[in-house]
C-alpha cells in the first residue's frame, strides 16, 4: 500500500478527516507520518492518539530553508513516503523540494482556485461579496496555490451567512473532498497532462 505523510501546522481538522478515511478503508494506504513545524499544533495530539509517527521540525532550529527542508526530506525517506498531503502547512515549499516529489504532493485550498489565493481564502471571498466560493484540491507546483487541479466543489454564500458560518461550511466540504482526491491518487486514477489532471473512470 502507498505510504502517506501529512504536513500540517495547525489544528489538523483535515488531518483528522484523512485519519478517519484511512480507518474506514476509504483510503487504502499507510498513514505513517505527520510532519509539523509548530509544537503547539493540534495536529500533534491527533497523531499521538492514532499512533502516527510525529516529526516536529521547527524552522528556527535551522540556519536556512535548505537545511530545514533537508530534515523534512530525511523523515520522509525514513518512512519511504510516496505521497505528501499538505493539510494547513503554513510554509511555501522550495522549487527543489517540489521538483523532488513532483506529482506526489497534494494541497487543499478553501476557495475555487485560481480565485482567492493565499492564507485568507475564505475571508477574502466573503468580503468580496461573491455568491459562490468553494474548495479546491490540487497538485503542488512551484507557485503558491497553483498547480493542476484535481477536484473542486462549490459552496454557496447565502445572505444569512456570517464569516464563521461560511468557514464551517467550507471546512465540512474540505473534509469530504480531500479524502476523495487522495483516494483517486492511491488508486492510480490521476494523470497530469499538459498541466491539467485527467481522472480515469471518475464515476468508479
Same fold across 1-101 and 108-136+148-204: yes
Q: What value does the mean pLDDT of the chain take?
A: 95
- Over residues 9-65, the pLDDT tens digits come to 999 999 999 999 999 999 999 999 999 999 999 999 999 999 999 999 999 999 999
Is residue 111 within 8 A of residue 120, CB to CB? The reply is no
The top-level CATH class assigned to 108-136+148-204 is alpha beta
DSSP string, 9-71: SS--HHHHHHHHHHHHTSS-EEEEEEEES-TT-HHHHHHHHHT-EEEE--GGGSSSHHHHHHH
Residues 72, 2, 89, 99, CA torsion sign: positive
- What CATH number belongs to 1-101? 3.40.50.170
CA pair distance 111, 161, nearest whole angstrom: 16
Burial class (CB in 10 A: 0-12, 13-18, 19+), 95: exposed
Show which residues are catalytic: 109
Tell me the three cell numbers of residue 103: 506529482
Is residue 161 within 8 A of residue 133, CB to CB? The reply is no
- Over residues 127-167, the pLDDT tens digits come to 999 999 999 999 999 888 889 999 999 999 999 999 999 99
End-to-end CA distance of the chain: 19
* Structural domain spans, the chain: 1-101, 108-136+148-204
Kindly give the pairing relationship between strand 196-199 and strand 132-139. Answer: unpaired
Amino acid at each position: 500500500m502507498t505510504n502517506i505523510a501529512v504536513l500540517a501546522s495547525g489544528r489538523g481538522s483535515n488531518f483528522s478527516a484523512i485519519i478517519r478515511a484511512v480507518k474506514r478503508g476509504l483510503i487504502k494506504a499507510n498513514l505513517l507520518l505527520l510532519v509539523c513545524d509548530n509544537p503547539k499544533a493540534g495536529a500533534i495530539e491527533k497523531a499521538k492518539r492514532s499512533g502516527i509517527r510525529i516529526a516536529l521540525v521547527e524552522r528556527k532550529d535551522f540556519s536556512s530553508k535548505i537545511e530545514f527542508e533537508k530534515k523534512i526530506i530525511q523523515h520522509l525517506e525514513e518512512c519511504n513516503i510516496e505521497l505528501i498531503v499538505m493539510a494547513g502547512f503554513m510554509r511555501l515549499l522550495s522549487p527543489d523540494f517540489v521538483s523532488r516529489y513532483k506529482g506526489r504532493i497534494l494541497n487543499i485550498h478553501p476557495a475555487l482556485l485560481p480565485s482567492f489565493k493565499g492564507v485568507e481564502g475564505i475571508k477574502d471571498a466573503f468580503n468580496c461579496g461573491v455568491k459562490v466560493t468553494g474548495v479546491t484540491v490540487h497538485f503542488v507546483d512551484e507557485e503558491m496555490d497553483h498547480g493542476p487541479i484535481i477536484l473542486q466543489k462549490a459552496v454557496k454564500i447565502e445572505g444569512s451567512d456570517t464569516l464563521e458560518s461560511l468557514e464551517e461550511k467550507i471546512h465540512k466540504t474540505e473534509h469530504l473532498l480531500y479524502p476523495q482526491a487522495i483516494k483517486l491518487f492511491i488508486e492510480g486514477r490521476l494523470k497530469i497532462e499538459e498541466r491539467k489532471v485527467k481522472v480515469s473512470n471518475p464515476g468508479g
